Amino acid sequence: MADYIKQVRAKVGHMPLIMAGTIGILTDDAGRVLLQQRSDFTGEWGLISGTIEYGETPAQTMVREFKEETNLTVAVVSLLGVNGNLTLTYPNGDVAQWLCPVFLVKQLSGKLNSDNDETEALKFFDPAAAPRLFNQQHREALAHFIAGESGYFD
């Protein structure tokens, strides 16, 4: 969590906040989608995602999150859609409504590595056979991707 968010949480506690984040979809040459087994929702799978830090653009956030969580350097290819219909309660009691652009990204360099505090495992899955993702926002982003839909807003 960014220091900015920690500072805000120190003042407001667990009360609901509107948060801005990003969600990314990366595919391999076989069309499989990269998923992350998350450490904050133990054992649950999701797309690569994260909170926009103060002063950062959504595209910069997406590039940073991929580097931090996967060790891959990526570039944002396109905006697939925007999702804002998720309110999430975290294990620590924090509540947030998330507004997230969903990006298609491409890998530029790096070797996949899950050795970080946010990731238990990383794996490419056939989109139609992916495990159930940890929240509705990630499930909707993947469903839109599978359907070939872009420009959506939920």
What's 109's domain CATH number?
A: 3.90.79.10
Tell the residue number behind the tokens 């570039």, with chain if given: 75
Q: Is residue 30 situated within a structural domain?
A: yes
Residue with tokens 């872009």: 150
User: What single DSSP character describes residue 152?
Assistant: E
> pTM of the full predicted structure?
0.92
Token output for 117? 């505090």
Indicate whether 50 belongs to any domain: yes
Beta strands 17-26; 48-51: pairing state: antiparallel
Residues 62 and 75: their CA atoms lie apart, in Å, by 8
Q: Is residue 129 part of a domain?
A: yes
Enumerate the β-bridge partners of residue 87: 97
Q: Nearest 5°: phi and psi at 68?
A: -65, -40
Identify whether 153 is part of a domain.
no
- CA 138, distance to chain mean position in Å, is 7
- What integer pLDDT is reported at residue 3 of this predicted model? 82
What pLDDT does 104 receive? Answer: 98
Structure tokens, 139: 């499930």
**Mean pLDDT over each residue of the chain, to the nearest integer:** 94
Res 2: pLDDT: 61
Residue span of the structural domain in which 70 resides? 3-148
How many domains would you assign to the chain?
1
Residue 154 forms part of a structural domain: no
